[in-house]
Amino acid sequence: MKHVTLLLAAIFATGLLALEPVYAGSLSCGSYRFTGSSRSPTTKYEILKKCGEPKYREGDTWVYERSGKTVLVHFKAGQVTSIRWEN
């Protein structure tokens, strides 16, 4: 019984991890994860270096495509202020 509970917990946690970037305001590029957190601001240079050129740029917003969804990365003064996923 204990093994079944652990297995179900692992499956549930894996499902949450798969959805987490959509809700957490983060962007994963390879093994790197960026957030819109002001505690450790990420620069445009870091995003460009790790994630590559965005699909397009619109002012201080860069647009990436990930997992069939649009990711909007907003900058202010060269630092990420927010990351938002859209359908």
Q: What distance in Å separates the CA atoms of residue 32 and residue 39, rounded to the nearest whole number?
A: 17
Q: What distance in Å separates the CA atoms of residue 20 and residue 52, rounded to the nearest whole number?
A: 22
Look at residue 15 in the predicted model and tell me its pLDDT: 46
Is pLDDT of 61 > 90?
yes
Direct distance between the N- and C-terminal alpha carbons of the chain, in angstroms, rounded to an integer: 39
SS3 for 24-84 is HCEEEECCEEEECCCCCCCEHHHHHHHHCCCCEEECCEEEEEECCEEEEEEEECCEEEEEE
User: pLDDT (tens digit, 9 = 90+) per residue, 4-30?
Assistant: 565 445 554 444 444 444 445 888 888
Look at residue 71 in the predicted model and tell me its pLDDT: 93
Look at residue 75 in the predicted model and tell me its pLDDT: 94
